[in-house]
Amino acid sequence: MEKTDKIFVAGHRGLVGSAIVRKLTADGYTNLVVADRKELDLAKESAVAAFFAREKPEIVVLAAAKVGGIKANNDYPVEFLLENVRLQNNVISSAHAHDVRKLLFLGSSCIYPKHAPQPIREDALLTGPLEPTNDAYAIAKIAGIKLCQAYASEYGENYISAMPTNLYGPHDNFDLTSSHVLPALLRKAHEAKTNGAREIVVWGTGQPRREFLHVDDMADACVFLLENYNSPEIINVGCGEDVSIRELVELICDVVGFDGELSFDATKPDGTPRKLLEVSKLKALGWSPKIQLREGIARTYEWFLEHELAPAVAR
C-alpha cells in the first residue's frame, strides 16, 4: 500500500471505522475518503455504485455494519440480517465493478459455532450450530466472508476478512438497551456511583467468558493486515485472553470507583458460554496487541466522561 492510495473507509463514524481513520491518518496515509450516512446510504445499491464510479477508491475498508449487543440482536434479527447483507453486498460488488485493488471485510467472533472448541481457531467456521441470540447477524457476516472468498476464487480479487473479538473503546455505543456488555457496565457503574445507588444490575449469571480488545489495537491490526496479509482465508484478531463477565464488572467498578453490590439478573440471556479466539495465525505474522484491559477500560471511561456525558447534561 502506498501512503497516497485512495482508501475508502466505510463506517467511519462507528467504533471500528473511526479508529481505523485515526490510525491511517497517524501512519501518514493522506488520501482517505469517507461519506456520512446522509450523503451515502450504503444499503442503496445504485447510490453505492455511483459513489464508487465517482470516487474510484483503490483500497476499501468495510467497517460499516449494523451492530448491537445481545438484546438488540435477539430482538431485531430481521434488521441485523437484512441491513448487513445489503450494505456488504453493495460495497463488495461495487469494489469489484470499479477495480478496487484490495478490500478488508470485518466479520465478528460470533460467526463461530456456539460450542466451538476454545480458543476458537479459524477452521471452526461452519462446523456446528450458531448461538441463537445473534445468529441473524452471524449469518450476514458469514455471507460477507463467503462473498469475499468467492470474488477471490472466481475473479482473483484480493479481498481479505478479519474476525475481531469483542471490541470496545471511544465512539462505542453506551445505550443500555442496544450496547455490548463493556460500555453498558461502564455506564451502569458510573451512574450508580454518581447517584449514590447501592447496587448495579448485571445481566445473566456473570459466568460467560469474553475476550476484549481495545479498538485502537484492532485498528492497528487492520492496517497491519492491509499492509501484510493477502489471503482470502479468514484471520482472527484478539488478545488471546478472556475474563468472566463477573471479573469484567469487578474491574470496571474498580476503575470507575463504584464499591456497591452486584446483582445478577438471571432472567436475561447469557448468550454463548465462552468466546476466546485462537490468535496464533496473526501472531505468527508479527502482530500483537498493546493495550491491557485495565488501561483500555480507564481510557474508555475518560472518553465516556468527556463525550457521552457532556451532551446529556446540556440537553
Q: Which positions touch ligand GDP (CB under 6 A)? A: 69-70, 110, 134, 166, 179-181, 184-185, 202-204, 208, 210, 245, 268-272
CB of 25 to ligand GDP, least distance (A): 29
Q: How far apart are CA 105 and CA 159, in angstroms?
A: 7
- Nearer Cβ to ligand GDP, position 18 or 166? 166
- CA geometry: angle 291, 138, 50, nearest 5 deg: 90
Give the burial class of 261: count Cβ atoms within 10 A of its Cβ; 0-12 exposed, 13-18 middle, 19 or more buried.
Answer: exposed
- Nearer Cβ to ligand GDP, position 71 or 98? 71
| CA distance between the termini of the chain | 44
- 228: number of Cβ within 10 Å: 12
Please, which residues have CB within 8 angstroms of residue 172's CB and are 6 or more apart in sequence? 15, 179, 180, 182, 183, 215, 300
CB of 135 to ligand GDP, least distance (A): 11
Only one residue has cell 501472531, namely 283
Task: Look at residues 282, 298, 46 and name the one whose alpha carbon lies nearest to residue 165.
Answer: 282
Q: How far apart are CA 55 and CA 71, in angstroms?
A: 37
- Nearer Cβ to ligand GDP, position 41 or 250? 250
Task: Find the catalytic residue in 137, 151, 159, 168.
Answer: 137
Residue 76 bears catalytic tag = no
For 25, 86, 211, 252, the CA distances from 32, given in Å and listed in that order, are: 8, 24, 31, 35
CB of 147 to ligand GDP, least distance (A): 23
CB of 281 to ligand GDP, least distance (A): 22
Q: How far apart are CA 81 and CA 85, in angstroms?
A: 6
- Nearer Cβ to ligand GDP, position 57 or 240? 240
- Nearer Cβ to ligand GDP, position 229 or 301? 301
CB of 19 to ligand GDP, least distance (A): 18
Residues annotated as catalytic (active site), given as ranges: 137
